Amino acid sequence: MVHAVCPLCGRFVESLVGGLCPQCYRANHPLIQLKKEIVIQRCRICGAYKYGDSGWTQEVEVLEEEIRRKANRFLVFGGRVTEVVLRVRPEDRILEVKVKGVAHGLEDEPYWENLTAPLKLRETLCDGCVRHLAKRAAATVQVRAEGRELTGEERRAVQEALTALAKSKGLRTSQVPIEVEEVPHGVDVHFATHAAAREFVRILSEKVFFDVLETSKLVGITRSGREKHKQTLRLLLPKFKKGDVIELKGNLYLVEDIRASKLILLDLERAEKTTIPLTRSTLNAISVHTAGEELEHGVVISRSENLIYVMSMRDNSLLEVEARGPKAARLVPGSRVSLLRREGIVYLVTFEGEPSSSRSSVG
């Protein structure tokens, strides 16, 4: 006997579940749904697979088991599920999932539902291949900075140089880096050939200033009797970085930018921009007065045409600063600045922000 009509499909049924016929109810209450993209790594050289933090494996079955154990990461189960069958098809970039269960609210017998999820393959190198290749590296470029960590910007410049190298003509893909290793205080890049290492250094030198120290070590003899050398190119970036205040011949400067062959500075005394060529002798004459992250912060309290009163966030003292340069002209009560004090003189270093509602209550 027919009691109801399904509003979705128009079928006549004995009774409705949640206002729908059982088929439509199932369709609207899937047992599984994909909540996240599934990404697996595949080694470019040996073809091994890895999912998440598991180990590398050559066996698709092992990969499958690993994915099954972590199914909750990418699947949402929407009912009483009693069985899950998973099949990974890396070549087709597909993961097939079959589940048996009953949607919540249904009084049915368990039934099967299928889901085909896209599989994303990320090409990389497995740990074993990296170790193997690192041993074969003919040249290593070590990127370091004198007495400090590399900045995020400098690390990005290394990545960009590697990208540019990968695109450069005349180099085969096999010559492009074997491994890029983040090490304490810097980055090591291992190359299979000396030529690739030198080309990388040349590209990087267009963006970043550094000294190069080259060393070579005899590591063996080739079958034809030639000596085999492992080359190390140590790149040393200056002790100062963008945003630091440096001292040169008694004057203080903010480092606004470091180019391949020049320094762009702000003379703090004159509040004027200046550019000086980067040479060995200039470099030796420079000392870091205050690192950017150690500058004092303050808020402008009031100002006249020539004087700015800033409250230091370090000790709440009220400091008087001469208003010089275009930066100072923009300052209004509530503006945030960074400061430097030397021998009783206060220098305005950077303008850090417009007055904000939370800070303006201070002024």
Question: How many residues sit close enough to Zn ion to count as binding (CB under 5 A)?
Answer: 11
Shortest distance (Å) from residue 34 CB to Zn ion: 24
Q: Which residue lies nearer to Zn ion by CB, 16 or 301? A: 16
Torsion of CA 28, 29, 30, 34, to 10 degrees: 90
Indicate the helix (H) or strand (E) that contains 163: helix 152-167
Q: Return the axis-axis angle of helices 152-167 and 194-205, rounded to nearest 10°.
A: 130
3-state secondary structure of 193: coil
Is 195 a binder of Zn ion (CB under 5 A)? no
| Alpha-carbon gap, residue 91 to 119, rounded angstroms | 10
| Alpha-carbon gap, residue 165 to 202, rounded angstroms | 10
Which among 18-26, 62-70, 158-166, 178-186 is the span making contact with Zn ion, rule CB under 5 A?
A: 18-26
| Residue labelled with tokens 């290749």 | 133
Which among 76-84, 128-136, 218-226, 244-252 is the span making contact with Zn ion, rule CB under 5 A?
A: 128-136
Is 196 a binder of Zn ion (CB under 5 A)? no
| Alpha-carbon gap, residue 176 to 162, rounded angstroms | 8
* Both tokens assigned to 187: 């980055």
DSSP annotation of 148? B
CB neighbourhood size of 338 (10 A): 21
Q: Which residue lies nearer to Zn ion by CB, 39 or 318? A: 39
Is 5 a binder of Zn ion (CB under 5 A)? no
Q: Which residue lies nearer to Zn ion by CB, 46 or 221? A: 46
Instruction: Please pick, from the candidates 4, 8, 62, 115, the single residue that binds Zn ion as defined by CB under 5 A.
Output: 8
| Alpha-carbon gap, residue 226 to 329, rounded angstroms | 68
Which among 105-113, 115-123, 127-135, 219-227 is the span making contact with Zn ion, rule CB under 5 A?
A: 127-135
Shortest distance (Å) from residue 29 CB to Zn ion: 13
CB neighbourhood size of 298 (10 A): 26
Shortest distance (Å) from residue 42 CB to Zn ion: 9
CB neighbourhood size of 302 (10 A): 13
Contacts with Zn ion, 87-126, as mask; x by CB under 5 A? ---------------------------------------x
| Alpha-carbon gap, residue 315 to 308, rounded angstroms | 18
Q: Which residue lies nearer to Zn ion by CB, 60 or 71? A: 60
Instruction: Please pick, from the candidates 21, 138, 246, 300, the single residue that binds Zn ion as defined by CB under 5 A.
Output: 21
Q: Which residue lies nearer to Zn ion by CB, 23 or 142? A: 23
What part of residues 27-66 is at the interface with Zn ion (CB under 5 A)?
43, 45-46, 48
**Binding stretches for Zn ion (CB under 5 A):** 6, 8-9, 21, 24, 43, 45-46, 48, 126, 129
